[in-house]
Amino acid sequence: MRTLNGSGWPAAFPFLAVALLGFTVFQLIPIMRGFFYSVSDWNLLQDPKLIGLENFQNIVNDKVFWNALIVTTEYVLINIGLQTALAIGIALLMDRLTRSSILRSLILVPWLISNVVVAMTFLWILDFNLGIVNKLITSLGLGGVSFFGEQALVMPTIAVINVWRHMGYTALLIFGGLQLIPKDMYEAGGLDGASEWQMFRKITLPLLRPVLALVLTITIIGSFQIFDTVAVATQGGPVNASRVINYYIFDQAFGRFHFGYAAAMAVVLFAILAAISFVQLRLSRAGTSDLA
């Protein structure tokens, strides 16, 4: 019965075995364990003790958590807004100007660099005392800016740094989408006397929607999980100004050994991301294209 349709499980299993083992041991079981920890009190030393929803009640009353949520949201809004706008611009420019694969390789360079290196690079470039950016600012007669040291500036700074890292990559994704739009649509628009801006709004954006929806879902999910840059550059400071959700979870788990509490926050993060991707894919009707 199992060998229906020619191959069946006996034939497929040797091909699947290792991957399924890996998936079960390092994804499925950990997900279940994660939910179990989230309703436990556990410091890694004693056995976990089930405490029901207490962790979640504590989360609701945890000011640092709410702050983390706000700070992370601020980061995502600046990061994604700027990055998407710039990426669309770059993609359109490339589409107009050149097919050069050297140019496309160049704009991809920052994406090949680890977050740690990027953080280090901008710590130096934006350094208060010796950084070149502050040299420029003071040479204009303005006061130096402590990009990583001021509470109001630290999240926008980190957001812009990561825009720098990802804009070329995002632009390439969108550029790929632009190639799917038939050129004669623009010719038709041009004959009707439509301006560039009208053509962008009436032709490019609607036809790009499926690709944009996918790109936004991927980048927003990634953006919400910002960690490396914070861990290297600010460790959550000044005060809690850059203590983003992932960093706070890490802090609780490995700094204070509140593993149950950390797992509960991971569940909340999971729920937020699931809700965002659901809403987004719904709103943007990602499955359908106006081309079809």
DSSP 3-state of 41: strand
Count each helix (H run) and each strand (E run) in the chain, helices first: 14, 2
The only residue of 277, 280, 284, 289 in contact with another protein, by rule CB under 8 A: 277
Of residues 111 through 170, those in contact with another protein by CB under 8 A are: 112-117, 120-125, 127, 129-132, 135-136, 139, 164, 168-169
> How many Å apart are CA 280 and CA 16, to the nearest integer?
32
CB of 70 to another protein, least distance (A): 18
The only residue of 154, 158, 269, 286 in contact with another protein, by rule CB under 8 A: 269
Q: Which two tokens stand for residue 178?
A: 């632009």
16 binds another protein (CB under 8 A): yes
CB of 241 to another protein, least distance (A): 18
Residue 226: in which H helix or E strand, if any?
none
109 binds another protein (CB under 8 A): yes
Q: By rule CB under 8 A, what count of residues binds another protein? A: 102
- Angle, helices 259-283 vs 205-224, to 10°: value is 180
CB of 93 to another protein, least distance (A): 5
Of residues 178 through 207, those in contact with another protein by CB under 8 A are: 179-180
Of residues 35 through 54, those in contact with another protein by CB under 8 A are: 37, 44
Q: Which residues contact 212 (CB under 8 A, 6 or more apart)?
A: 84, 174, 177, 205, 284
DSSP string, 94-134: HHHH---HHHHHHHHHHHHS-HHHHHHHHHHHT-TTT-HHH
> How many Å apart are CA 170 and CA 49, to the nearest integer?
45
253 binds another protein (CB under 8 A): yes
Q: Which two tokens stand for residue 205?
A: 């954006």
What residue has token string 């944009």? 212
Q: Which two tokens stand for residue 61?
A: 């009353």
The only residue of 105, 151, 195, 198 in contact with another protein, by rule CB under 8 A: 105
The only residue of 82, 232, 238, 284 in contact with another protein, by rule CB under 8 A: 232
Q: Please identify, among the stretches 62-70, 140-148, 176-184, 198-206, the one whose residues bind another protein according to the rule CB under 8 A.
A: 176-184
CB of 153 to another protein, least distance (A): 19
CB of 30 to another protein, least distance (A): 4
> How many Å apart are CA 50 and CA 38, to the nearest integer?
9
CB distance 203 to 186 below 8 Å: yes
CB of 172 to another protein, least distance (A): 5
CB of 79 to another protein, least distance (A): 16
284 binds another protein (CB under 8 A): no
